[in-house]
Amino acid sequence: MKKKIAILGSTGSIGTQALEVIEKLNDKFEIIAISAGNNIDLIKKQIEKFAPKYVSVRKEDDAEKLIKEFPNINILFGDEGLNTIAKLDEIQILLVAVSGKIGLKPTIEAIKKGKDIALANKETLVMAGDIVIKLAKENNVKILPVDSEHSAIFQCINNGKDAKHLIITASGGPFRNSTKEEMEHANLDEALNHPRWNMGKKITVDSATLMNKGLEVIEAHHLFNFDYKDIKVVVHPQSYIHSAVEFVDGSIIAQIGIPSMHIPIQYALTYPDRIEGIETESFDFIKAAKFEFYEPDYEKFPSLKLAFIAGEKGGTYPVCLNAANEEAVFAFLDKKVKYLDIYKITKAIFDDYTSIKNPNIDQIIEEDEKVRIKTREFIKNM
C-alpha cells in the first residue's frame, strides 16, 4: 500500500527535493496535498505532475485563480489552509518544509490527529520543543528529523541507550576563513554563497552566521532529550560526516555520506526502511581523501554562543532568539542592515527580553509576535 503524504512548502528547497525523492519512489507514496507560498507557477507544474487532492497557497486571490484552473482540486489558502491539510484524515505522514514560524501550528494539529511528522522546519522545535515532543509522545506520533544533522544522530543514537554526547557538525559557512574586517563589509551575495548546500535564503544566511547551527543545537536538545552541556559543535568543512553520537564506552558512531538532502528527506519518509532511491552513487572515501575538523570560532560567530545561552535559559528565550534573528535576517535580505548587524540586533533584543516560564502555545505565538514588532522597531530606529 502506498504511504499517503502531504507536503507543506512543496515549492521550497526541501519541498522540491522531497518531490524528487517521491517521484523516484512513486510506487511507495501517494501525494495527497501540497502547499506553496507565492510561487504559483511552480505549484501549477507540481499539480499537473503529482495530481494532489488538496493544494494550499498563501494568498486568497492566488487561490481564486487556481480554483478556476483546477476545478476538481480542493484549493485552500493562508495559515488555515496549512492547518486544514495537516488535519486531513487521509494523510499518514506530514512533511513540514515551510520556513519560519508558520510551521508550528500545522505540526501541532497533525500530531493531535496522530500523523507522523517528517520535520524540516526547525523553528517548530526551537519555539515550542517541550510542547511538541510531549504532545508527540502522548499521541504516539513519530517526529522524524529531516535536518541532515538530526537525521544523522537519529540514525546513530539507538534510542539514546548509553549515549553520552551528541556531536553536531557544521560546514562553517562562507565566512569560515574570513577576517572580522571582511565580514564587516560582507554583502548579500557573499552571505548567500554557501560552500556545500543549496537552501532557502533565510537558512543560508543563518548558516553564514552559524545561527543555523545554534538553532540546530536547540533542535537536538528537544529531539534527543540531551542537556546542552552534552551537545558539541565541530566545524567539518567537507560536510561528509553529518553528525555523530559518542557512547559511554568511548565508541563514536557517525553517519557519513555525500552532502545531499535527498538522503535525510528520504529516510524520514521511508523510516524504518531503507530503500534504493534517488542517490545511487557510492561515497568514495579515497576521492574524499580529507576529513578536517575545527573548533567553532565563537568570537567570529557569536550567534552560536547566544543560541546555547537561549537554549539553556529555556522558557521563551529561544522564541525571542528565533524571532529577533529572523527579523534581522529579513532586514539583511532586504538590504536594510549590514551582515554584522544581524547579530547586533538579535543580541540587543535578547538582552532586553523577559522570558515566560513553561509557556503554552498561545503565549509562545504572542511572545513571537511581540519580539518581531520590537525588532522591526529597533531596526527602523538604527
Report the C-alpha gap between 34 and 31 in whole angstroms: 8
In the sheet that holds 252-256, the strands lie side by side as 231-235, 163-170, 241-247, 252-256
CA dihedral 300, 101, 268, 52 (to 10 degrees): -140
User: How many residues can be counted in the chain?
Assistant: 382
Q: Does 125 bind ligand NDP (CB under 6 A)?
A: no
Q: What, of Mg ion, ligand NDP, none, does residue 62 touch, CB below 5 to 8 Å by kind? A: none
Ranked by CB distance to ligand NDP, the top (closest) residue is 12
CB of 320 to Mg ion, least distance (A): 22
CA 34, CA 356: separation in Å to the nearest integer?
35
Q: Which does 197 bind (CB under 5 to 8 A by kind): ligand NDP, Mg ion, none?
A: ligand NDP
Task: Look at the block and give the residue holding cell 537561549.
Answer: 310
Question: Binder to ligand NDP among 120, 127, 163, 331 (CB under 6 A)?
Answer: 120
Q: How far apart are CA 120 and CA 146, in angstroms?
A: 5
**Residue 37: DSSP 8-state:** S
Q: Which does 122 bind (CB under 5 to 8 A by kind): ligand NDP, Mg ion, none?
A: ligand NDP
| Smallest distance, Mg ion to C-beta of residue 223, A | 12
Contact with ligand NDP (CB under 6 A): which of 97, 254, 328, 342? 97
User: Which is nearer to Mg ion, 62 or 206 (by Cβ)?
Assistant: 206
Strands 93-96 and 3-8: parallel
Q: Does 38 bind ligand NDP (CB under 6 A)?
A: yes
**Which of 19, 39, 217, 327 touches ligand NDP by CB under 6 A?**
39
Q: What is the CA radius of gyration of the chain?
A: 20
Q: Does 99 bind ligand NDP (CB under 6 A)?
A: yes
How many residues bind ligand NDP (CB under 6 A)? The answer is 26
User: What is the dihedral sign for C-alpha 348, 354, 360, 365?
Assistant: negative
The DSSP code for 381 is T
Rounded CA-CA distance 91/89 in Å is 6
| The one among 76, 85, 211, 261 contacting ligand NDP by CB under 6 A | 261
Q: Which of 32, 75, 85, 98 binds ligand NDP (CB under 6 A)?
A: 98
Supply the minimum distance, in Å, between the C-beta of residue 136 and ligand NDP.
18
Least gap, CB of 119 to ligand NDP (angstroms): 9
Among 4, 58, 105, 176, binds ligand NDP (CB under 6 A): 58
What would the x/- binding string for Mg ion be over residues 142 to 161, using CB under 5 A? Answer: -----xxx------------
Q: Edge-to-edge, what's the strand order for the sheet holding 93-96?
A: 74-77, 54-57, 29-35, 3-8, 93-96, 116-119, 143-145
Q: How far is the CB of 260 from ligand NDP (least distance, A)?
A: 10
Which of the stretches 139-147, 310-318, 342-350, 370-378 binds Mg ion when contact is defined by CB under 5 A? 139-147
CB-wise, 25 or 215, nearer to ligand NDP?
215
Residues 6+ apart with CB under 8 A from 264: 145, 146, 147, 148, 151, 152, 242
Residues 166-225 close enough to bind ligand NDP by CB under 6 A = 197, 199-200, 203
* Rounded distance between C-alpha atoms, residue 107 and residue 126, angstroms: 13
**Which residues are at the interface with Mg ion (CB under 5 A)?**
147-149
**Which residues are at the interface with ligand NDP (CB under 6 A)?**
9, 11-15, 35-39, 58, 97-99, 102, 120-123, 147, 197, 199-200, 203, 261
